[in-house]
Amino acid sequence: MLKKVFRSLLALIFISVLLLLAQGCSKSSSPTSPSPPPANSVSIVDNAFNPTLITVDSGVTVTWRNNGAATHTVTSDSGGLFNSGDISSGNTYSHLFNTKGTFGYHCIHHAGMTASITVK
Report pLDDT digits (tens) over 91-113: 999 999 999 999 999 999 998 99
Give the chain's residues under pLDDT 50.
9, 25-31, 33
Structure confidence at residue 79 (pLDDT) = 79
Whether the ω angle into residue 37 lies within 30 degrees of 0, i.e. cis, is no
Class of the CATH domain delimited by 41-119: mainly beta
Domain parsing of the chain, residue ranges: 41-119
What are the distances in angstroms from CA 89 to CA 21, 46, 47, 93, 104?
46, 11, 12, 11, 22
